[in-house]
Amino acid sequence: MASSTRRIGLSLGADLCWPAAYESIVRELDLNLELGDETVGFEVEKVQVEPFDLQGACSYDLVLDRLTHWLYVSREWIKKIVLMDGVYVLNNPWAIQAYEKHTSYVAMMRLGLPIPRTFMIPSKHYDPEDHADLKVTVERYNKLFNLDAIGEQVGYPAFLKPYDGGGWVGVTQVRNAKELHAAYDASGKRVQHLQAAVKDWDVFARGIGIGPQVNVMRYDPSRPLHGRYVVDFHFLDAEDWARAQKITRVINAFHAWDFNSCEMLRADGVLHPIDFANACPDSQVTSLHFHFPWLVKALIRWSLFCAATRRRPTLHPNWAPYLEIADTPGLSFDEKLDRYDALAQAHFDSDRFEAFCEEHLADLDEVAWAWFGTEDFRRAVRAKVAALYPAHEVERFTEHFFGLVQFWRKTERDRLDGASE
pLDDT digits (tens, 9 = 90+) for 36-65: 899 999 999 999 999 999 999 999 999 999
Assess whether 81 and 220 both reside in one domain.
Answer: no
pLDDT score recorded for residue 96? 73
Which range of residues forms the domain containing residue 153?
A: 117-196
Residue 33: Cβ within 10 Å count: 17
Last residue of a domain, one of 168, 196, 224: 196
Assess whether 266 and 415 both reside in one domain.
Answer: yes
What's the number of domains the chain is made of? 3
Stretches where the chain sits below pLDDT 70 are 126-135, 137-139, 141-144, 166-169, 420-421
Assess whether 173 and 246 both reside in one domain.
Answer: no
- Asked whether residue 313 is assigned to any structural domain, the reply reads yes
Assess whether 210 and 318 both reside in one domain.
Answer: yes
Assess whether 209 and 187 both reside in one domain.
Answer: no
Assess whether 173 and 212 both reside in one domain.
Answer: no
- The answer to whether 311 and 88 have CB atoms below 8 angstroms apart is yes
Neighbour order of strands in the sheet with 229-230: 229-230, 213-219, 203-210, 259-267, 270-275
Assess whether 191 and 241 both reside in one domain.
Answer: no
pLDDT score recorded for residue 132? 64
